[in-house]
Amino acid sequence: MGRVIEGRPLVAGEAAGEVLATDEPLSFWGGYDPGTGEFIDRRHPLSGQMGAGKVLVIPSTRGSSTTSAVLLEAIRAETAPAAILTAGADTFLALASIVADEMYRRPLPIIALSESDFATIRTGDSVRVEADGRILVEPRR
């Protein structure tokens, strides 16, 4: 049976998809290929996996503001995750989504979760993100 998590929308929006989760922070600069949607940082646990269309669950980003530029390009190229859930506010992710909404009319939902809720979402779960920050989670079977 599914459960509901109350998140805080940093950028509101609706999305649904399969979860791809990690407990390691991610740098999109050098870590994500915006042309393909593949995680390319060979030292990261998500290396070689595809993020396009998934609901990405990461604790935070790592690195500089170039994360915003890479994510913005992925949104433009339609190779970005469907939504990103984080263990707290992440301004680099929010900035990319806000700019994508202004430039392309394609906001990417960015939802901040409590640490305890963040820890309950697993790769393979199916989630639906609501505009108010509610997340409906169906555990993988």
Cβ atoms 71, 109 nearer than 8 A: no
| Cα 49 from Cα 66, distance rounded (Å) | 21
Share of the chain above pLDDT 70, in %: 100
Question: Which has the closest alpha carbon to 57: 104, 14, 24, 35?
Answer: 24
- What pLDDT score was predicted for residue 64? 77
CATH of domain 3-138: 3.50.30.10
Q: Which of 60, 64, 68, 114 is catalytic?
A: 64
pLDDT in tens, 41-64: 999 999 999 999 999 999 999 987
Could you tell me the pLDDT band of residue 95, with boundaries at 50, 70 and 90? very high
Residues in the chain: 141
- What pLDDT score was predicted for residue 63? 80
- What pLDDT score was predicted for residue 33? 98
Whether the per-residue pLDDT at 124 is higher than 80: the answer is: yes
- What pLDDT score was predicted for residue 141? 81
E runs forming strands in the chain: 3-6, 8-11, 15-21, 32-33, 38-39, 55-58, 83-86, 110-112, 126-129, 134-138
- What pLDDT score was predicted for residue 21? 98
Q: How much is the mean pLDDT over the chain? A: 97
Whether the per-residue pLDDT at 1 is higher than 80: the answer is: no
Could you tell me the pLDDT band of residue 65, with boundaries at 50, 70 and 90? confident
- What pLDDT score was predicted for residue 109? 99
**64 catalytic per annotation:** yes
Whether the per-residue pLDDT at 17 is higher than 80: the answer is: yes
Paired tokens of 108: 């990417």
Question: Using CB atoms within 10 A of its CB, is residue 141 exposed (0-12), middle (13-18) or buried (19+)?
Answer: exposed
